[in-house]
Structure 1
């Protein structure tokens, strides 16, 4: 059983709004990058936000149908949650689905501020309190959020002790388990605990799925693998961005990247249909097949570029 937020995530239709890197907790398994951890900056997907227009542009570029607000701890900047949620709802309509993550159990005042703005709240109780989850403030926060009309999810990494949540399952709408992931910021802690990567191709920690087997028998429990995040979630989002931003001569791949040819032409401008190229800083960018098929007609340095759409990260450069 999937929440609306997870359904949109499967379609690559959820924008990720990283609202702050600040957090009062020091969870050893936290995968946030060193660039964002502790930083107060806001990011919409991979774009640092300097104005409201940056958020709206990023949502439009990917034809976002919803937004996931994350951090850090978003409740440390409650005003930002309210501001950006209202901005997105007023711009794209109430159907623009907003879910958010929190590692704390907020009170009624904080939750009331989100009514009509946040559709689903995802609680992330830190691992050290799992054995005492029923005596913590989280059950009350869950009941308050549901009473105020929000869908309620617990979302945690795949760690030992998931059985402690079983008494809470009936009070939740959904329970999500993310496969434990290795990152640059938690690698040292992982090694200290004797964990290792499952293989050389993914960030998944070996054995993490095994800890989930019993609780996954419950119909409300959803397993989100590292492979899904890497190969499906990101790919579908890139495809949406590419469909909106690719130039006429760029080829969109099955992975959502774009491919084009580059000619560094020197002094003599090549004779190419102006509608099939773009001149940028002394080089011509064009369809890769025009560059390779008419190889001898275009003197100069030539190569094919594969990159993320909308002038994103370069994946590969192939000399021609």
Structure 2
């Protein structure tokens, strides 16, 4: 069973809003990178956000239909989280769907603060409490959240013993399992438990899909594979951003990256530009020219020019590859 938030994620239509890397849990399988873990930083998708405008700009760049609020632990900075959720709802309207991840069992005060601005809550009980889950605060929190109008679920990685969470199912609207993935900051902990990636090309942990089968027979449970997140969810989000932000001469690839040409020279490039259509190039602040990649074909014999084909994430994102000609 897919929650409303998952449906939008599958479409690549959700902004990922990372509100802090601070957390009061010490989960050994935490996948956060060293650039985020235990640091009080904010990211909108893959861009660091320092102002409200940064968040809105990134959401508009992808025509976001919703937002997933994550961390760290968003409830550690509850006032900040509430402020961002209200900002998004006021800017995009009440139909902008917001789901929030938390490792805590939200209290009545937490839920009251989030009411009306968060649609869906995804609780992550830490692995060490799974065997005694019904003796924790999570059942009480789930019941209260439902009474207050939230969609409530659990979202956890596929770990051995996940079947111990089955008694929670009757209290939930959905139950998401993410295939356990290898991470740079948790690699030593995984090795100490005899865990290894399935192969050299993927981050999924060997056996993780099988562990999830302890509970996937229930219709409320949805298993999200590592491959799906990489090959579909991320790609759809990139394609969405690229469609909104690509320049006329950028070519959007099937993976959602963009490709264009770059021309550099110590000489004067204005004569060269006389032969280019206005929409086929853009002059950069360093004097280089970015243009439709195919325009470089006729320039390869000019030894005064440094020519490259660039592939990068959309909206001035990370460069994936530079191919000199």
Q: Superposition RMSD on alpha carbons, in Å?
A: 1.1
| Residue 278 in structure 1 maps to residue 282 in structure 2 | yes
Q: Where does residue 256 of structure 1 map in the other structure?
A: 256
Counterpart of 1:187? 187
Q: Within the alignment, does 1:228 sit opposite 2:242 as a pair?
A: no
Match of 1:304 in 2: 309
TM-score (norm 2): 0.96
Q: Please report how far the alpha carbon of residue 225 of structure 1 lies from its aligned counterpart in structure 2 after TM superposition.
A: 0.7
TM-score between both structures, scaled by the size of structure 1: 0.98
Contact 2:75-2:102 at 8 Å conserved across structures: yes
Aligned-partner Cα distance in 2 for 1:11–1:199: 28
User: Unaligned regions of 5+ residues in structure 1, if any?
Assistant: none
- Alpha-carbon offset, residue 112 of structure 1: 1.1
- Of the candidates 278, 295, 308, which is equivalent to residue 300 of structure 2? 295
Contact 1:249–1:286 (CA<8 Å) still a contact in 2?
yes
Q: How far did residue 297 of structure 1 move?
A: 6.1
- The equivalent of 2:90 in structure 1 is 90
Task: Tell me if structure 2 keeps the 8 A contact 1:179–1:208.
Answer: yes
Once residues 275 and 118 of structure 1 are traced to their aligned partners in structure 2, the CA distance between those partners, rounded to angstroms, is 42
- CA deviation profile, 1:255-300 (whole Å, cap 9, x unmatched): 0000001111321311323331111112111111111145336841
1:265 touches 1:298 (CA, 8 Å); kept in 2? no
CA distance in 1, matches of 2:145, 2:303: 64
Give the whole-Å Cα distance in 2 for the aligned partners of 1:149 and 1:249: 47
How far, CA to CA, are the matches of 1:135 and 1:295 in structure 2? Answer: 70
Match of 2:215 in 1: 215
Structure 1 residue 134, shift from structure 2 partner: 0.6
SS in 2 for 1:275: helix
SS in 2 for 1:68: strand
SS in 2 for 1:217: coil
Q: Distance in 2 between matches of 1:145 and 1:239?
A: 35
Kept after mapping to 1: 8 A contact 2:267/2:304: no
More displaced, 242-251 or 260-269?
260-269
Q: Deviations over 1:218-259 (max 9, x none)?
A: 100000111111111111111111111111111000000000
2:25 counterpart of 1:20: no
Runs of 4+ in 1 over 2 A off after TM superposition: 271-275, 293-299
* Between 260-269 and 64-73, the greater mean CA deviation after superposition: 260-269
Corresponding residue for residue 198 of structure 1: 198
Q: State which drifts further: 122-131 or 238-247.
A: 238-247
User: What does residue range 163-174 of structure 1 map to in structure 2 within 5 Å?
Assistant: 163-174=163-174
Deviations 1:170-199 (A, max 9, x none): 111000000001011000000000100101
Count of matched residue positions in the alignment of Structure 1 and Structure 2 = 320
- 8 Å Cα contact 1:266/1:282 also seen in 2: no
Q: How much does 1:81 deviate?
A: 1.6
The equivalent residue for 1:56 is 56
The unaligned stretches of length 5 or more in structure 2 are: none
Query: 3-state DSSP class of the match of 1:266?
Result: coil
8 A contact 1:291–1:298 mirrored in 2: no
